[in-house]
Every structure is written in structure tokens, then in C-alpha cells.
Structure 1
């Protein structure tokens, strides 16, 4: 197994770099999309990603169970799996939580446990797994309770993923920097 993490800010070029990296292996790629259409802007972002991907790549759209992205017969047919992205997966999970339950430790624990199940499956596979995520550690503290919860959970998932990854890249202004591996 090879786990590669690609992080960067919004519109930094991280997804494009991860797609180029995945395509560079010269094999079939399964693109695991975590985005959900919440509004017109998100629909346009998803469409931009669709247009950029090679037509021959497989597609799997997932919601709550990230670990499912590596555990079925369809996914097994692909030697390279590109997950785009961990931050969108977490935001989708948190958007479903009613406001009185924001920052609930049980919900946080469930998300972190699901991330660990996914990391365990990534470690057990013989495939190349590339995960894209957003870096939240470079900005200020979010003004809203939901924003702070998102940053805390994503920061924890990013750190766990980076520790277990074979390689980590940070992308800034379209330029990738290898941080690990």
C-alpha cells in the first residue's frame, strides 16, 4: 500500500495536482467523490471536477462511510484510488448535525473512528490511495461554533492521515511541495 496525502487551501490546485499524480501511475483510477450539492456554487464546483477528470476513470460517490470507498468489488478493480476530499467529507457529516449537537463529543468520536477505519483499510490494501484535504491550520480561528468544530475535527483527521501517509504534499498557488516521503 501507498498512502499519499495532498493538502492545501481552497483553490490552491491540490485537486488538480492529485489528479495528475493519480494519472501518472498509468493505470485505472477510481475517483471517490465526497461532495454533495448543497447549492448552485457547489454544483458548479462538482461540475468543474467532472469536466477535468479523464472519461475512463471510475467514479464512486460516497456520503457518510469513508471506509466504504476501499471495500467493495468495484473498488477492487482499480489499482489507484483518489479520494477528493477529506474536508468535504467532514463538512458533509457536520452539516447533518442539528445546531444543539454541535461539538458533541460522541459525534466527533464517530467521525474520527470512521477516519481510522478508512486509514486501516488504506494500510491493508495493495493499491495506491491518494487523499486530498484542505489545510485549515494556516488561518485564524473560525468565528462560528460550527466553523471551529469543523477546523478541530479536520485538523485531527489531517494529522492522523499525515502520520500514516507514505508521502505528503502541500500545494500553494498551484505549486506542490513535498513535505514527507
Structure 2
């Protein structure tokens, strides 16, 4: 199994690039799209609908807003899996934390543990004899390009996503950074 990570800033074109890459990797076979976004407001709902509108109708889709680890059991029915986005999954956890728990070490540790478990489970499940999965593509936001966030929640998000990105990038076979719609291969 090949793990490919695609990072970039907001609206950089990383999801579109990931979808194009998944289409090429699948070579006509259906792709499993693992959606992590959660609709918090009308603008986020429009973003989700735009992503849905771009996907081919023959792709599979599962919602994983609450757990990336729980989604892995579905991967082996597909040769190519696209997780969009890891950073949204992390944001879901942080957004659900009460304000009194901002910067909670327990929540931060739980997120780090989930990301490590996802990587291990991904490698274990796709290494099985009956595994069909050849490529897993994970999209994430590059959280450190815009300066230090102005709010405690924003800074926490940057820190946790930055750590998760580093862990996944270390495990990935290929890493791309997308700038203004242009992918730049930085690993592999």
C-alpha cells in the first residue's frame, strides 16, 4: 500500500488535485471517499456540496467526521481511498471541546493517539492477504503558513494539526504541497 499525503493552504487546490490523483491511481475502478467535514453553518455546507458535486457518482463515500480509525475497516473494498481532510477531522474534535477545555492535554493526546492508531491500522489492514487497497491519499491543511492564530482555539488547531501532519508525512511514501493549484512533490 502506498500512502500519499497532500497538504496546502485553504483554497490552494489540494482537494481537486487529490481527486485527480485518486482518479489516475484507481484507473477506472471506484474510489472510496472518506469525508470528514461537518456542516457547522451555511458556508461550510456549500463547501461540502461543492466537494460532493466534483466527485464521480460511481465513487463510494463514507462519513468519518467522528473517527478516522473507525473508517479503515471499509478501505479494503477499494483499490484507492481518498481521505478529505485529516485537518477537518481534528477540527471537529477541537470544535466540540468546551471553552473551559481549550488546550486540554487529554484532548490533544487523544487526537495524537487517534492519528497514530489510524496510521498503524491503515498499515495493518492493507497488508492483509485479501487487501485490495493499493493507494491511500490523505488531504490536510498546512496550518502554519498564515502566522500565529489570533485565538486560543486557532492556536490549538495549528499546533495539533501541525503535529499530526508531521506524523503522517513521516509515514507517507509521497508528500505533495499544493500552492495556487500547483502540486509540488516534497517527498517520494
Does the TM-score normalized on the shorter chain lie above 0.5?
Answer: yes
Match of 1:22 in 2: 22
Question: Which stretches of structure 1, 4 residues or longer, exceed 4 Å deviation after superposition?
Answer: none
- Alignment RMSD (CA, Å): 0.9
Match of 1:150 in 2: 157
Confirm or deny that 1:47 pairs with 2:49: yes
Distance 1:69 1:54 in 2: 20
Structure 1 range deviating more: 52-61 or 19-28: 19-28
Instruction: Show structure 2 runs of 5+ residues with no match.
Output: 128-132
Instruction: Show structure 1 runs of 5+ residues with no match.
Output: none
Shift of 1:114: 0.5
Confirm or deny that 1:3 pairs with 2:10: no
TM-score after normalising by structure 2: 0.93
Shift of 1:136: 1.1
Distance 1:81 1:144 in 2: 34
Shift of 1:113: 0.3
Is the CA contact 2:67–2:89 (under 8 Å) kept in the aligned structure 1?
no
Aligned length: 179
**1:96-124 deviation digits (Å, cap 9, x = unpaired):** 10000011001100011001111112222
TM-score after normalising by structure 1: 0.96
Partner of 1:15, secondary structure, is: helix
